[in-house]
Amino acid sequence: MAGLVLSVDVRLPSRPERSIDALAELRNRDDLNVIFILVDTLRADHLGVYGYERDTSPFLDQMTASGVGFADVQCQSTWTKSSMASLWLGAYPARTGVLRHSHAIPEAATLPAEILSDAGFRTVGIWRNGWVANNFGFAQGFDVYYRPQPARAALEVRRGNPSAHPLLGTDYDATEAALEFLRSYRNDRVFLYVHYMDVHQYLYDEQSGHFGTDYKDAYDNAIHWTDRNLGRLITAADELGLLERSIVVLASDHGEAFYEHGGEGHARNLYGEVTQTPLLLWLPFRLKQELVVESRVENVDIWPTLLDLLGLPALPGAQGRSLVPLMQAAARGEEPAPERPSDAQLDRTWGQVDARPLPLVSVIRGDLRLLWSQ
C-alpha cells in the first residue's frame, strides 16, 4: 500500500492587523479559543526564528514574523513528566512534587484545562508521550484526553535515532486528530492541546530528510517534518475561520544535547542546551512586525500569561508570572526588565524505582549558571 503524504500546501493565515494595544481588549471577549502546541524535545536554537542557519522551520518563521517571540525561555526540568507538571501548574518541581517515575499530579491540584472547562471551553488533549498519560494526573479538566491511533495506511518515515524508544504512529496522527476536533466543534469555544513527539524520536519523511543522516541532521529533519505538520494544522484552522478568534501558543518541555557537555539526549543534566526552549505566541490579529521579548522568561510563566490574556482566574499557588507587562513594555521600546532568577531541577535517578533520589539543581543569575548536585 502506498504511504500517506503530508500535504505541504500551506499559506499564512489572514488575520486582521492590529497594534499590541489590542492585547488589553482580549480579556473582554467571550469567543476566544486556545490552541496550545507542545513540541517535545525542541531546543530553541534549532529554529530559524531563533537564528539557526538551517531552514528547519519555514512555516514557524513566517508565522512569527507577525507574532510574539520570547528570546530566552528556560524550562523547569529536562525530563518530560516533571517539566510538564511545572508548565501546567505554573510552579517549580519542588512545589509540584513531580520528580520521580511514580509521581503524579495530585487530584487536588487545579490545571488550566479545569479553569477553561469551567469557563465554557470544550477541552481536548491529544498526546503521544506516555509521561503525560492520564494515570499521571494530566487529564484533569479535559473532556477528551487520548493518544491517537496510527493511520491505517503506513506513513513512510525514517527514524534517525535508533536508541529512541519506539512509538506507534507519527505526529501525522496527532495532526489529523486535532483537525477532526476543530472541524467538529468549530462553532464552540475550544481549548486544544496537541503534544507532538516526532522531534523526540528524530522521525521524518523523505520530503524533510535533506539535512543529512547523523544525529543532529536527523533531529533537524524531524523539526522540518513537524513544521510541516504545524503548517497543515494552522492553515486548516484558518480555513475553518478559527484563527481570528484564537490564541495559538508553541512551547516545548526541554531541549536536546549534541555532545556540548559530553553527551547526547536529555533528562541527564541541566545545561543550557537542554533547558532553553522556544516560546512563540500568535494572537487573533497580526502585528506589523514580530514583537521580541528579550527578558528571560520561564515555562512556569506560560499559563499565568494565557489566563491573564483571557481574563480568567489565576492558577492557585502559581509561582510563574504573567508576561503581558513584558510584552507591552517591549512594544513600547522600553529596556528589558531586570533579570529574575531562573531555576530548574532534575532527579537524576527518576527512572530507577529503588534508587535513592539524586537531585540536581540549576540556578541562573544574569549570564551565570550554577549547577548544584548532592
Q: Where are the beta strands (DSSP E) in the chain?
A: 33-39, 68-74, 122-126, 144-146, 157-159, 190-196, 203-205, 246-251, 257-258, 264-265, 279-282, 291-298, 342-347, 359-365, 368-373
CATH number of the domain where residue 162 is located: 3.40.720.10
Task: Report yes or no on 310 lying in a domain.
Answer: yes
Residue 8, domain member (yes or no): no
Residue 151 lies in a domain: yes
pLDDT values of the chain reduced to their tens digit, one per residue, 374 residues? 233 445 455 566 678 899 999 999 999 999 999 999 999 999 999 999 999 999 999 999 999 999 999 999 999 999 999 999 999 999 999 999 999 999 999 999 999 999 999 999 999 999 999 999 999 999 999 999 999 988 755 567 887 776 677 888 999 999 999 999 999 999 999 999 999 999 999 999 999 999 999 999 999 999 999 999 999 999 999 999 999 999 999 999 999 999 999 989 999 999 999 999 999 999 999 998 899 999 999 999 999 999 999 999 999 999 999 999 999 999 999 988 888 889 999 999 999 988 999 999 999 999 899 999 98
Q: pTM (2 decimals)?
A: 0.95
Query: What's the CA dihedral at 98, 103, 105, 107 to 10 degrees?
Result: -150
Question: Does residue 370 lie in a domain region?
Answer: no
115: cell is 479553569
- For residue 11, is it within any domain? no
Structurally, how many domains does the chain consist of?
A: 1
Q: Which domain holds residue 98?
A: 20-336
Any domain includes 4: no
Q: Could you tell me if residue 24 is inside a domain?
A: yes
| 372-270-74-223 Cα dihedral, nearest 10 degrees | 180
Cell digits of residue 46: 534549532
With respect to residue 366, please indicate whether it lies within any of the assigned structural domains: no
Q: Is 38 helix (H, G, I), strand (E, B) or coil?
A: strand
β-strand partners of 128: none
